[in-house]
Amino acid sequence: MSLEANKAIERRFFEAMNERNVAALDKILADNVVDHSPSPGMTPDRNGLKQFFTSTYAAFPDFHSTLEDMVAEGDKVVSRFTASGTHKGEWMGIAPTGKQFAIPGISIHRIVNGKIVDNWVSMDMLGAMQQLGVIPLPTGKPQN
């Protein structure tokens, strides 16, 4: 597939995520997709990815991921994004805080025959936890 075709698949992935269209992931993710960075308690497969998005939407009803940059080479597409939302439901055992977060992230997707077969994601989860008030910000004072 061409680099532009792979970028179009990446854009569809982000659109499905932002539209909360979990069913559309079946057309974007290969049956045998491997999630190399699954969230705690999630399986590293398509069902685990769908479960992750479903639980994220329940905890952050206004969840949105803004695609900032995209680079494609060979069979891979790398995207830089900003994920944001308001914590309105339980998330990873954390009661709703009502606070908002906005964190940077990077995803790498390997695409074969028009579908994502490998998923790697890195996001600033410490920043998210601090913005939600779950983990305190450092005070800057030296500890003895």
For 116, other C-beta atoms within 10 Å of its C-beta total: 25
User: Do the beta carbons of residue 95 and residue 132 sit within 8 Å?
Assistant: no
pTM as predicted: 0.91
Q: 1 pLDDT band (50/70/90 cuts)?
A: confident
What's the pLDDT score for residue 66?
98
Q: Is 136 part of any domain?
A: no
Query: Which CATH number belongs to the domain containing residue 49 in this structure?
Result: 3.10.450.50
Q: Is 73 part of any domain?
A: yes
Which tens digits make up the pLDDT trace of 10-53? 999 999 999 999 999 999 999 999 999 999 999 999 999 999 99
Domain count, the chain: 1
- What domain range is 100 assigned to? 3-131
Which tens digits make up the pLDDT trace of 91-114? 989 999 999 999 999 999 999 999
Q: Is 64 part of any domain?
A: yes
